[in-house]
Amino acid sequence: MSRWEELAGASRGAEYASRFDALEAKGADVHGEARLCASLVPAGARVLDAGCGTGRVARWLHRNGYDCVGVDLDEAMLAEARRAAPEIPWLQGDVATLDVAGDFDLVVCAGNVIPLVAAGTEATVVANLAAALRREGLLVAGFGLDAAHLPLDEATVTLTDYDAWCADAGLSLEQRFATWDGDPYDGGGYAVSVHRRSAA
């Protein structure tokens, strides 16, 4: 069982979606993840939103000309995504067993996806996401590195481990930020990492 399933328990898709809708209605910026992705690949690029939840990132990118697919383990979250954007393919599945052809220009993991997968599957998840990329495609993942930035009592992933899993999957670190707005990473408790698949 994934850590997300252990945390989420009963269906929370509608509650999760309404929380972000309320934030946006109050003027909060809830699209930093999508805008960062858009700064890395041009409109028309094929994007996989892995651990998409209610589809907030993929929906913004789709509205701005990107070819998006979303995948998530949580069917309640996907129900909200399908309701909001039925034109986008939303797949129910575990990123640890993901079998997607390697034709994506960018794979994005927002919302602490990597620390919330099932314990012991992290390297497999990274390898599967890397395999979904075209040559020279980008894996972009943001996640907490301490309890203050996670819905957990302690961190489950270090950047050293994550970079090693990426290297084993044929990915090299290209950029690292402290936020989805692109602030420089200074060793804090949250990081957004951009890794590129090799051309070979």
- What digits encode the pLDDT tens for the residues 78-115? 999 999 999 999 999 999 998 887 899 999 999 899 99
pLDDT at residue 29 tops 70: no
For 198, the 3-state DSSP assignment is coil
Q: Which residues contact 1 (CB under 8 A, 6 or more apart)?
A: 118
Mean pLDDT of 181-185: 96
Name the maximum alpha-carbon separation found in the chain. 47
Distance CA 176, CA 142 (A): 9
| pLDDT at residue 22 in the model | 46
Q: Which residues contact 22 (CB under 8 A, 6 or more apart)?
A: none
| pLDDT at residue 67 in the model | 98
Mean pLDDT of 53-78: 96
Q: How far is CA 190 from CA 59, 163, 184, 194, in A?
A: 24, 15, 11, 14
Q: Which CATH architecture has domain 3-197?
A: 3-Layer(aba) Sandwich (3.40)
Query: Which of 22-31, 45-54, 186-195 shows the lowest mean pLDDT across its residues?
Result: 22-31
What's the token pair of residue 45? Answer: 């690029």
